[in-house]
Structure 1
């Protein structure tokens, strides 16, 4: 638990740290998602490098308003968890005043903001200005937000543009988690200075795997090519297209799919009645690791990703990747030696890719082996933390980019 009186009363506010970095991220654990994983991973890596790290987030899940986890200090501001927590709206009350008061007393050197369109992102940029700090913004998207309904998406896109215009007023130095996300910033008239990539502790992810035997539990034939999916059952993830592709496969194509997760489209996926598809619901990280270790390939026909954490988790487990050309795909699978790039998220293109995988088992196995080696050498939190430290120091000193 953090002390909330002054900088000197905080058990981690001492002169042993190189600097104090405050990360504003509207989404953080126990909420689950890619931004949350990124924030936690890079925050803990920064701590190991001697930085004092404060994460300011929104209390979407009724968690403790303040805590210290692995030496990362976490402040969760009160909010209304709009859209099931995907877009939290700040609340102004005594609790918020208390937490902001504590934060204002901390000797913060650098401000990092994850994503450009949340209310908390603008609050973080304003906080940086009042403390004479140039904020560093990290973009996590590569396409507009969507609710899967064109009539609702149009006003949502206007709101996204308005929120982006709001944070641009503070002139942040902008980066992104992938090349796709960097390119997306140009849609808003923002020039990305480069990438501070998503990453993973590959061995730790694998070592946490549970003992669940998904093939035995869900009746997957021993000789079947096992395809895994994990994520939200929403239109932008291509879940219906994947389920339709599995259903349409010829009877002699020995493929089985396990689609883990939950969301509004889960019932529609189940109603398709694909005989070789199971939907076990949301899995814990340990069960997800077990599934990926048993799967032959991960299939993600997503419309957009900033830098998909699932790519990193599959690669850590030596699982081949079949995915659309979204954020992170080229970073983790730069050539066809590492994965199969889908032409589109259509069911027909997904089906064709799965048939290709089924007829090239040795190639699929080799792809997984290549990915496992690549993620351990090039996608580490150590490297991402080094890059972030380098950029915040350059920003603080006014060094040219």
Structure 2
């Protein structure tokens, strides 16, 4: 057995980051001679999270990087064998894992694009065993990052283009890896910067932040006052934004107005009645940017704006990086050119390889082989061929601009953060016909 209590994932362990049943099915495919059959799987959501009118596709960069590095080492295979679970697996299964690399094609919606229910965000076309095993990682990467990018886009839409939006969610994200993904997805969805130092440097950005209450409390207790704490911080970080709500927010603002307002980059309020406090701080510091934080989300920001709060920027953490998940699924739609579909109650899927055709009139979900309608564009583009990336890595600026434009093109009713009207894609006649024929064929097989 492998034994590593740290549970820190390395790139050469990507293959094992999957659910057991992916591997047991792959072994079965080998035994039945199905492993090399060409399969198409599509990743999509059946329904949007409650209160969401759209999703912003994200996580494709992580998905491609994973597929490029997909492998199994000898030590990992020895660990699998030691479990005893695969004692009955065919010998060829181990040879396949030892030498296999992802060799398939991938089509995907570019990051930053709006998508809706039943519209594929990504399609994998590969030998069946490969397409099966990669399901778990792809869902993990795309579901979570799509959630964060969508929340970021909603925050930007509500706050407006001038507000400074900062990602502060690392301590609330579901894991260290999740924190890095959340930071990137937040920037891709519309936020300006992140406090996560590792994420910022990896992304070629400058990390942002202010100070903590602990500094004020420690220096106040040992050296005398909140003012001493502010002065100490500014000795090493001249003009840096200050956190002013440790004791008395308004009193701190008035004192700063007398002493340091000309060099102050901003003040942050993290608690209390943000409406009243921000208005009072604005009176004391009329030219100083005011930032607010403290479990804020898009609905809270909308309420603050409507109530006349004097806030120039927001720090977003808990509500940004957590919440109702994006429940994406990954389903087989075609095997060796034979369309397949699922008809379980509440879990229906459309058969065949599909394309999203987008026009000013709305979306049409059709077959990948259909001609693109006039005045429309197909959203899924090829991003990998025979296991190799065929598109350049996009900058966060490009993705963010796409997200901003995508949201701006939506009806205001869809952008509503309380009770959005969710668009539904039209189903093309060809897809309707294929669905009918596939259903009829599957019923005949069952009977």
Q: TM-score normalised to the size of structure 1?
A: 0.28
Q: Which has the larger radius of gyration?
A: 2
Of the two structures, which has the highest relative contact order with CA contacts closer than 8 Å and spacing of 6 or more?
Answer: 2
Q: TM-score normalised to the size of structure 2?
A: 0.26
